[in-house]
Structures are given as C-alpha cells and as structure tokens.
Amino acid sequence: MDKKPNFLFFITDQQRADWLGCAGHPVVKTPHIDAIAARGTRFTDFNVAMPVCMPNRASLLTGRYPSVHGLRYNGCYLSRRANTFVDVLNQSGYTTAAIGKSHLQPFTDIAPMKRTEFRSGPVADAWKADDQDYTLEEPQRYEEDRRAPFDGDYYGYQHVDMVTGHGDQAGGHYRQWFREHAAKTGRDWAWYHDPENQLPHNYSARQSYRTPIPESLYPTFYIRDQAQQFIENQQGSDAPFFTFVSFPDPHHPFNPPGRYWDMYQPDAFELPIRYGDHRKPPPPLEYQRELMMRGELPVVAQAAIMEDEQAIRESLALTAGMITMVDDAIGAVVETLKESGQYDSTVICFNSDHGDYLGDSDLLLKGAWPRDSINRVPFIWSDPEDRTERCSDGLASTIDISTTILDRAGIAPYFGMQGTSLLPAIAGEPLNRESLLIEFNDNGTRMGFPQPARVRTLRTKHWRLSQYKDQDWGELFDLDSDPDQLNNLWDDPAHIETRAQLSQQLLDHMIGQMDESPRSIRLA
C-alpha cells in the first residue's frame, strides 16, 4: 500500500474477554465482532495495565504503566504534557478522531472519596499546579446549547465528539445533542432522566433500570451515527485516519434500551465460580460476603458488590443485551467502512478497558481483588494485508497497543514507551513474553482494606502472584492445575521456592517502573 493504513479502533467499557461469541460464550450473540475476529487475530490472554477505566485508557494512549504516566486512579487526569501515540499519528499526517467515551480527565463534578487524613500546609502537593485546563470532560462545560468546542488537539485528537458517564444519562456532546433531539419526541429531555419514569419491570438486581429513552436516542447509537459520519467524510482524502470509537457500555447501570432489555432471559445463564467454591476465601471476598449478610451496600455505586443468585442472573442477562447492542452498532460502522470503499485500507481493532467480576465468586463490577474476570479483556486485530483468522495465546497487555499501531503505520515510537509490538504475533509467530505486570491503585477504602488498596500482580502463562501493600497475606495460583484460581498456595510450604522466584520477577518489573523520559541532556 502506498498510503499508510487507516485504523478503526473500537473499545467498550467493562467487558470481559470471555463475553464474545468468538471467545466461546454459550449465550451472548456478537456476530459482528465475531466477523472481525474471523478475519484477524484474536488474543486470548490479553491483560490490562490496570483494571480501572482512567488509568488503563491512559496506558493505552501512552504505552506506559499508570505508575509512570501518572494517572494512577480514577479522578486524576492525564497531564497535557504527556505525549500519546495519537500525537505521533497526528504529526505524521493522520486525521485523528475520538468519538464517544474518552475519560482522560474527570467527567463528574463530585468531590473525591476521603482517602487518608492529611492536613495540608501552605503548599498542598509535591508538584506545583499544572496550569492546563482539566475540566474539558466535566458536566458544566456542556450545559449550554452551543456545542462545546475543542482546540483541535485533545491528547492528539483533532476531532472530538465527547460522551461522558454511562447508561442513558451520559453527558458531553451527546447530552447537548440529546436535549435537542428529545424535544422532537414531544417530551422535555428531563422527563427521560427522571427515575420515576422508568418503564415497568420485575428485575431486582441493583442498578437494573429500564430506561424510557428509545434506542435511537441512546448513547450507543449516537456514537454509531457520529462514527459513520466521520468515516464517510474521509472518502477521497489523501490523509489516512485513526478513529477511536468508544462505547460506554456494557458498564453499569444495567439499562439496555428497547428490544435489548429482554433480548436475553436470566435463566439462560449459568453462574460462574461461586463464593463457596474457594477453599479459603481471601479477605476481600470474605469482607464482601459479610457486607451482603448484614444487608449493607458499598459507599459508592461503582464499588464491587456481592449479590444473590437471581440478581446475578438478571445482571448477566442485561449485560448481554448491552453487549449485543454494541455489537449491532459496530456492525453498522464496519458496513459504512465497506460502502465508503475504505475497508481494504483499514486496520480494525476491538478492545475493552477492563472487565467485570460479573458473577465471579458472586461479585459484580470491579475492585482490588485481581481476578482474570477484571484483568483479562478482548483484543482483536484485523489487518487488510492479511485477514487470516488466527488466535494468539501469548501474554499481551494494553501497553502494547500503541507500539503495535505505530509499528504498523511505519512510524518510530517516542522514548519512554514500555510496550512491545504485537505485529509478529499478528503474523502468526509465537509471542514469547515470560511475564507481565498488572497494577492496581484505589482512590478510596473499599473491599475491607483499611487504606486505599495498592496491589501488584505478576502473570505468567502458568502462575498468578499478587502482593498487597501492608497486608500479611498474598496470593499464588497454579494456573495449569487450578485455572479458576480457587486454591491459594501462598502459604503452602511446597511452593515457597516458586513464590520466591515469582516475587523476584515481580520486583524486577516494579524496579523497571521508572520514567526514563526525558533523556539526560548532559553527562552530569
């Protein structure tokens, strides 16, 4: 190809790797994503840098771990000083667009959770304040009817169509559009956002909400339509494009609109690993169990929660409806790509920012306990140079995405990127990574931790080792004999040597989490 390839990058929010038809899920239907996988490489052991929205999305863009790029937990921001691979594409002649959820800056105006007692003096933080504007995703920016402007360079994106939040009450440019188009239905837009007006249903699962918003006005289909329009506008352009199409679903609340609400029935789903399956439940799981038995709820709606069997089945059914809804939107965007004559010059990717316990050990949502259900996500790469169906079972990470895209575009990365190009694996070669690191930092006290949790996990093909700051326990699992990770070998005398070796590997990874950039300018 004379022209550099286009990239159409789809990403969902909070979707497990195993919740796709092509990944073997027995119930959920994803024919359009499956079609991308049937003409590309699906990575079966693809892991996040951190199973939290904002830090992992920043890792995707920078190719760096959260402890290096600085967006350590939700509620922070990615410094505007940070380069991203989209900056590189932008400066190399690409037309770049972000359509949907970005979440590189806070998108609420809610004060953070109380973390630790700290009495601030006349100087509040270790770093002087950054004078950049980090309110570009916050609600007040979208209160007026006039479309909120961007300056043409949002972390490298020239075109931004912002969708913030989740579910039927998403904000950003979508909210501005919704206020205008809801009026055409004969109702005020606020009527659709009043909980008193949700449609009748008999679901008991917390955060199950039957929205009165019609499918055509739901955020997923707004994102679909904006992505289709952008792709159509690229026809005939001499410049290649990179388009980041980001859906806020299937993240809770569980509120698929219209026909997607009852597309799946709760009884169709088998419950995965249960609380009682663990030989010795770890402290976070025991805490969640005690919380449920006392009838108490987490402090915030985003925190992991333990539910009864019926509520879990209902949540699974509604999540499946949201996933199929996104799949339909993806199918429509890919069809537009084909109709516009750009399919044969476009790399198509599918990914998610983190998973969901989704019934694993009777839990829903996500938290500090590092299960595969929240750490492992889908990643599919379909390349016009070779749309052969393949699977790669090598260890891969979110930090690899940016390096791989730049490698495919034939553009050198910047100094300080930590990922590895996956192009050899996409070409069918083995991916021989021995181990990888997964970080976790909480911004509040949850799951029974007395302080915001700090967790570091080492994954190999055969083992998972997790260490928790200031805790007298840890986790060690043999993934060959115990793939469901039910028998913790941390204190097993027979595995002391294995634990020591893996702890050394984890220490090596953590020592490597130093920001090498900028490079030194003098010998001394």
For residue 111, what pLDDT band results from cuts at 50, 70 and 90?
confident
Q: pLDDT tens digits, residue range 258-297?
A: 999 999 999 999 998 999 999 999 999 999 999 999 999 8
> Looking at residues 35-49, what average pLDDT do you find?
98
Residue for token pair 């009777």: 362
Burial of 369 (0-12, 13-18, 19+ CB in 10 A): buried
Q: pLDDT tens digits, residue range 311-328?
A: 999 999 999 999 999 999
User: Looking at residue 115, what is its pLDDT?
Assistant: 53
Instruction: Identify residue 394 by its one-letter amino acid code.
Output: G
Across 103-107, 153-157, 213-217, 494-498, least confident range = 103-107
Residue for token pair 């490298």: 156
Going from the C-alpha of 341 to that of each of 231, 234, 496, the distances in angstroms are: 10, 10, 59
Residue for token pair 């553009």: 411
User: Looking at residue 108, what is its pLDDT?
Assistant: 84
Would the pTM count as exceeding 0.95? yes
For residue 205, what pLDDT band results from cuts at 50, 70 and 90?
very high
Q: Which CATH superfamily is domain 6-113+132-433 in?
A: Alkaline Phosphatase, subunit A (3.40.720.10)
Q: pLDDT tens digits, residue range 298-311?
A: 888 889 999 999 99
User: Looking at residue 2, what is its pLDDT?
Assistant: 66
Rounded (10°) angle between helices 400-409 and 53-62: 30
Q: Tell me: pLDDT of 336 over 50.
A: yes
Going from the C-alpha of 109 to that of each of 117, 189, 463, the distances in angstroms are: 22, 21, 41
User: Looking at residue 414, what is its pLDDT?
Assistant: 97
Cβ count within 10 A of residue 430: 10
Q: pLDDT tens digits, residue range 224-248?
A: 999 999 999 999 999 999 999 999 9
- The SS3 of residue 352 is strand
Which residues of 218-294 form beta strands (DSSP E)? 241-250
- In sequence order, the β-bridge partners of residue 463 are 478
> Looking at residues 416-445, what average pLDDT do you find?
96
Mean pLDDT of the chain: 95
Alpha-carbon distance of 405 to 407, in angstroms, equals 5
> Looking at residues 49-57, what average pLDDT do you find?
97
User: Looking at residue 403, what is its pLDDT?
Assistant: 98
Q: Which residues of 158-178 are buried (b: 16+ CB within 10 A; e: fewer)?
A: bbbbbbbbbbbbbbbbbbbbb
Specify the DSSP class assigned to residue 316: H
Q: Which structure tokens are listed for 517?
A: 């950039």
Q: Tell me: pLDDT of 1 over 50.
A: no
Q: Tell me: pLDDT of 249 over 80.
A: yes
For residue 110, what pLDDT band results from cuts at 50, 70 and 90?
confident
User: Looking at residue 117, what is its pLDDT?
Assistant: 58
Q: Tell me: pLDDT of 15 over 90.
A: yes
Specify the DSSP class assigned to residue 378: -
pLDDT more than 70, % of the chain? 98
Sequence-distant (≥ 6) Cβ neighbours of residue 310 within 8 angstroms: 204, 205, 266
Q: What are the domain boundaries of the chain?
A: 6-113+132-433
> Looking at residues 448-469, what average pLDDT do you find?
97
Q: Tell me: pLDDT of 382 over 70.
A: yes
